[in-house]
Amino acid sequence: MEFGSLSKLLISAAVIGFVGLLFRLYNALVAKPERLRAALRKQGVSGPKPSLLLGNILEIKKARDAAAKNTTDGAPVSHNCGSFLLPFFDKWRKEFGEIFMFSLGNTQILHVTQPDMVREITTCTSLDLGKPTYQAKERGSLLGQGILTSNGAIWAHQRKILAPELYMEKVKGMVSLVQESTITLVNSWKSIIEAENGIADIKIDQHMRSFSGDVISRACFGSNYSKGEEIFKRLRALQEAASKRVLATGVPGMRHLPTKSNRETWALEKEIKTLILQVVKERTEAGYEKDLLQMVVEGAKNSDLSQDAIDRFIVDNCKNIYLAGYETTAVSATWCLMLLAANPEWQERIRAEVVEICKGQIPDADMIRKMKQLTMAINESLRLYPPVAVVSREALKDMKFGDIKIPQGVNVWTLVTALHTDPEIWGPDSYKFKPDRFANGITGACKFPHLYMPFGVGPRVCLGQNLAVVELKILISLILANFSFSISPKYKHSPALTLVIEPGQGVDLLVKQL
């Protein structure tokens, strides 16, 4: 009798547990997403109809796969990489307007390109508007840069340690590193050209990464720079692995399944963490060095974070530095050189400026500040091919922007590619390479200067912006002083979206020494 009662009790407990699990799953997968969408619908916000579990993922994937097949031989006349990479957004904007909602799995996203509302969102300093939870859960991946930045205290501490003014001081000391790395690249190109009898067909992408990697490895890891190069190679592999599962981030439980992509990502995350903490340990034993890693390590240790949190903080900030100072610079330099190759008149204008200012000397910080033509071309390149396509945030509490009340849990996406090329903002020639538009700076280039955000904008602007611009100016000015170049017949224009916007098949240039 007692055994029978115990069996009934266990069965009852199992049934209750199963029903409870079903209820939680129903709430997470159906009820909560519908509740969030209903709250937005009541305010007049509409969007494409989502399917159960996947939301709009299949529609997005189908559109991206179709767009990826479209390549152009040579440089295009019109540069609309947003339409090329994210065609579904163009379709939805025409159908639903500047503000609409869509779903990635059970993650509900509000798309916003309305200028006044974008200003409110991008300048918002409240910690209630944080890094999306679905990204933070990808803690070790480059999708979730920063250490669970939905934690306001940790985000604030991170900004204190890597404050722009402190970071800028470090950048001033990095100019010599940038010069040395650029000279190395220039000499390598001279050797290639000599071996090719005066003109060489060079796929420049890896050369840009080698340059940028050399700079940031030395700046971040000091005497451990060779280990830094090792770490950045693995971070590049992690970036590629993470980009393969971008669309799956909102699918419940997908990040926990031992798929091939997940296993590859987990292994890389573990390896990267081990390598970084090994460098930190060696640094602690060897003594003080004046580099970015030292700044992060000291700031973390002076905090009241736990040891585990300190380790994660250091690792995640190294990832931030990688994306901001390495990958962003490399792809930006590649796109800028492609545009200058396709526009020889601008190549000549900037070369004349460089020759006049530098007078045969290696460009330094004072010289590059005087290069207005080069600055205009870089700004225009970053407008047409911004490193990041989308700025994403999540309402960690109920918030209001413009007339829209955004429920807690809704993500807000600002589409940079659309804002950078909208004819209503930039004029009818918005898809053309026209650096002259920046002759009077960013404020004179468009109706709403706050919508120009190649490195983000407001309180969360990319900390690597100053270093990236210094690298770009010194690199491009020295290349122009030593070489002329044009688009190679091999070049196929096919922008690709990994975690940055990069040339899908690389950039091939015909390079000749002057």
Asked if 94 and 425 count as a contact pair (C-beta separation under 8 A), the reply is: no
Euclidean distance between CA atoms 277 and 146, whole angstroms: 16
- What is the DSSP code string of 207-256? HHHHHHHHHHHHHHHGGGHHHHHHHHHHHHHHHHHHHTTGGGTTSTTGGG
36: its two tokens: 């969030």
Asked if 161 and 299 count as a contact pair (C-beta separation under 8 A), the reply is: yes
| Cα separations in angstroms, 508 against 56, 80, 337 | 36, 20, 10
Residue 419 CB burial class (10 angstroms; 0-12, 13-18, ≥19): buried
Residue 486 CB burial class (10 angstroms; 0-12, 13-18, ≥19): middle
Residue type, 54: L
DSSP letter assigned to residue 142: G
Cα-based angle 460, 466, 467 (whole degrees, multiple of 5): 120
Residue type, 107: T
Euclidean distance between CA atoms 3 and 326, whole angstroms: 66
- Residue 276's nearest CA partner among 233, 327, 318 is 318
At 348, is the secondary structure helix, strand, or coil? helix
Residue type, 362: I
- What is the DSSP code string of 368-392? HHT-HHHHHHHHHHHHHS-S-SEEE
Asked if 118 and 418 count as a contact pair (C-beta separation under 8 A), the reply is: no
Has 336 been labeled as part of a binding site?
A: no
| Cα separations in angstroms, 172 against 54, 76, 177 | 48, 37, 10
How far from the centroid of its chain's Cα atoms is residue 211's Cα? 19
Asked if 150 and 396 count as a contact pair (C-beta separation under 8 A), the reply is: yes
Cα-based angle 436, 189, 383 (whole degrees, multiple of 5): 25
- Residue 470's nearest CA partner among 170, 165, 205 is 170
- Residue 480's nearest CA partner among 326, 365, 382, 343 is 343
244: its two tokens: 């393969």
127: its two tokens: 């910690």
Residue 296 CB burial class (10 angstroms; 0-12, 13-18, ≥19): buried
**Residues counted in the chain:** 514
Asked if 502 and 496 count as a contact pair (C-beta separation under 8 A), the reply is: yes
Sign for the pseudo-dihedral over CA of 230, 226, 482, 365: positive
Binding residues: 462
Annotated binding site for heme: 462
